[in-house]
Structure 1
């Protein structure tokens, strides 16, 4: 059975796990043990998902359904949304917003680097240019679509989760993680697949992969809900905080917390 450690509002009352609910501004100057590690993990997941699996379409045979077509990155990219949920739930919207901007900047750098590496003329006698171009030649377009979709989707995800946490008084974490993912991944998918692949893939394939990947992403969030509960509970206990975004400025256009 899932155990929800966020049962009270921002009233200074100790929760069952010994965590005091606080407003976001109360974290100013507090040493956070795991925040920096989460920032690095978030950027790594995002870049690897885009570089390694975004352009590959895979298929598996499902019993009673038949061939199921999906983008390979869907197996790993949803972890960024799970981590985003954890960050917003534990540290609040403002600190999650800063990490989204870090992921955005890292993605821009990766896109520029791959574009330059592909464009530089190869040395005489080096036979790997065709392979590099084949694998990474589309990367700038994919990265542009990805970082725009990620930026919009992740902020939608963080906003919905933070808003629902205040609305529910911190109860029913699963409604926030799944509900925010439904919204965030819808925004992400509707932006990414048309921008990245229309005109490159057949339109029917774009729509098929967009829908199947969206369902898989939301499904992943639901499946990982017990894990999310464990991680959120662990981090709240170790950090000693449970942030509620009361009075938070929800604009995405800043990095200050």
Structure 2
């Protein structure tokens, strides 16, 4: 990255006002909600590989999560994770209320509506818990690796953080959501396949990540290193 960037520690990064942070956070939450709402519970098979259909878009939220931590620091990424967590809870509550409302006489779309939006409590709980744990692991690993690599080799920390973050996500989501509904073999197959595909997605999207990170850093004019940062998920919003 450019040597013209002003280096900030975790304290200054957490308290600084950034020009584009709100837009990145909005994209993060939007992709998170849409990928969980539309594709999480569908099994698909292509080329002999069976996987959850949501994998096509859900990893993009991890890419944006990497961008948030890399550009804005862990404290700001933590705010986005909690924002996404709250949005997912509201989405689950809204889906439950709307699906439970009695359909109007003559409206025959209830069954189809329930099949799309009527996720079981298991899928909802699995999605929320897996996202929360996986994203915090992802951000923590990336922030720590940035310090260890002295800001070099961005590819190593984006792929490395996804490797661990998505492993935690998959290990939590699939057993909670589908064990006992799918066969154990299906759960294990989809869990491992999706984890590997998500890491592969991250690797393939590395050029995009480099472009977005570089563009944002040049416009924000800073490089944030999370030295001295409080990595607790429960630290205050402006805390380090």
Query: Would you call these one fold, judging by a TM-score over 0.5?
Result: yes
Change (3 A) 1:28 1:161: closer
Measure the CA separation in 1 of the matches of 2:223 and 2:91: 34
Measure the CA separation in 2 of the matches of 1:189 and 1:247: 30
Measure the CA separation in 1 of the matches of 2:45 and 2:61: 23
Q: 1:40 aligns with which of 26, 49, 64?
A: 26
The structure number with the bigger radius of gyration is: 1
Aligned to 1:53: 39
Cα contact 1:98–1:255 (8 A) shared by 2: no
Q: 2:7 aligns with which of 8, 18, 21?
A: 21
Two-structure CA RMSD over aligned residues (Å): 1.3
Listed as ranges, the gaps of 5+ residues in structure 2 are none
Cα contact 2:69–2:142 (8 A) shared by 1: yes
Q: State the TM-score, normalized to the length of structure 2.
A: 0.95
TM-fit CA distance, 1:250: 0.4
Cα contact 2:14–2:76 (8 A) shared by 1: no
TM-fit CA distance, 1:235: 0.6
Aligned to 1:11: none
Cα contact 1:111–1:139 (8 A) shared by 2: no
The reply on whether 1:150 has 2:131 as its aligned counterpart is: yes
TM-fit CA distance, 1:91: 0.6
TM-fit CA distance, 1:124: 2.3
The 4+ residue runs of structure 1 with deviation greater than 3 A are 27-31
Measure the CA separation in 2 of the matches of 1:141 and 1:104: 16
Measure the CA separation in 2 of the matches of 1:165 and 1:81: 16
Change (3 A) 1:213 1:245: same
Q: 2:141 aligns with which of 154, 160, 169?
A: 160
Which has more helix, going by share of residues?
Answer: 2
Q: 2:113 aligns with which of 115, 132, 140?
A: 132
The reply on whether 1:216 has 2:197 as its aligned counterpart is: yes
Measure the CA separation in 1 of the matches of 2:14 and 2:231: 17
Cα contact 1:164–1:176 (8 A) shared by 2: yes
Cα contact 2:140–2:231 (8 A) shared by 1: yes
Listed as ranges, the gaps of 5+ residues in structure 1 are 6-14, 62-66
Q: 1:176 aligns with which of 141, 157, 165?
A: 157
Q: State the TM-score, normalized to the length of structure 1.
A: 0.89
Residues 107-137 of structure 1: per-residue CA shift (max 9 Å, x gap): 0000001111111122222211111122222
Cα contact 1:115–1:140 (8 A) shared by 2: no
Cα contact 1:46–1:103 (8 A) shared by 2: yes
Cα contact 2:28–2:64 (8 A) shared by 1: yes
Measure the CA separation in 1 of the matches of 2:145 and 2:155: 11
Aligned to 1:10: none
SS of the equivalent of 1:201 reads coil
Measure the CA separation in 2 of the matches of 1:100 and 1:132: 29
Measure the CA separation in 2 of the matches of 1:229 and 1:97: 21
Matched residue pairs, number? 238
Change (3 A) 1:255 1:139: farther
Residues 200-209 or 184-193, more deviating: 200-209
